Amino acid sequence: MKLKWKIKKKSIRKYFFDPEVRFGRKLNSLAWISESTADILDKRKEMSRNPNWTEEEDILALCLYYELPYGQHDKNNSKVKELSGILRRRTPDSVAMKLNNFKSFDTAYSGDALGHASSTDKRVWEMFINDPALLFETRKRILGDMYREEISDKGRTAVYLTDSEMEKLANEINFSEEDNKRIQAWRERQWAFRLSLFRGYDSQCCLSGVSAPDFLIASHIVPWNKDKENRLNPRNGLLLNVFLDKAFDKGYISIKKDDYTVMVCPDIKDTGIRQQLLRYEGCKIRLPRNPERWPEKQFLEYHNDNIFKRQA
């Protein structure tokens, strides 16, 4: 019994006090700690890793980019938070960063932009840059199909229709239930067209500088009932105040295709109208900072030749 106890004591003493054994125990302990720490870090890294944005998420973010002024691309903006809630896996900070990534493609933006835009960002930007109506129609489909969300008109700028647009509605729409759906769909596309002009012209009339939304109209250069393919093309539009829109629509003024200066009908009978319009004769319109949004010369040529009144 004593012999066994001595052997046992000797083994215990060696386990705790023998330098070689202690060193081996320490190595094993460090290896276990190192392995456990690595596993934990890998799991944390996997949990915190931000997955790549999908094309659908990019499209929703681009719609928000269109809607918000440059200075509101911030994580504290209510619209940014709303989109973050819809996407679920994107924080407001992540959404705000995505909006700032789009600025690197926007030549109308003169400030600094983040340099982290992806190939998906570029593809989505190029796909919709001149087709905002398609962009917002795609958003509606994505929200309905993938996120079960409905789009509200709350907060949207009111849509104003020119005489030609009202004439189109009066002649072709019977206000049945089916036509009401068509009206709503058309209003949404027109709203997207209007929004793109607000973005391009910095929310100001391109001649007078008026910036009150209630007095601004998204005016078509070629009347929309004359060219269905380009009725929602931003390059077939000008942002004008109510008075100038009426003058442009009726052909009392036009824009030269070569230098974007104003021509005024030389024989306007009404003295008040003539005086108001002559103040703009020879003036160059304020062009969008992005040349890709400048009015198309062929559309201006059509207006010069077919709508502008050489004689009142």
Which residue, among 193, 198, 201, 261, has the nearest Cα to 230 in the 3D structure? Answer: 193
* Residues 208-232 pLDDT 10s: 999 998 899 999 999 878 888 888 8
Residue 3: CA count within 13 A, CB half-sphere: 0
Give yes or no for a contact between 188 and 218, defined as CB atoms under 8 angstroms apart.
Answer: no
In this structure, what are the phi and psi dihedrals at residue 220, rounded to the nearest 5 degrees?
Answer: -90, 140
In this structure, what are the phi and psi dihedrals at residue 34, rounded to the nearest 5 degrees?
Answer: -65, -45
* Residues 69-94 pLDDT 10s: 888 889 999 999 999 999 988 999 99
pLDDT at 271: 93
Give yes or no for a contact between 201 and 256, defined as CB atoms under 8 angstroms apart.
Answer: no
Does the pLDDT at position 234 exceed 70?
yes
In this structure, what are the phi and psi dihedrals at residue 167, rounded to the nearest 5 degrees?
Answer: -65, -40
282 or 5, which is more confident:
282
Does the pLDDT at position 38 exceed 50?
yes
* Residues 105-120 pLDDT 10s: 887 777 777 677 899 9
pLDDT at 14: 52
Domain edges within the chain: 55-146, 163-306
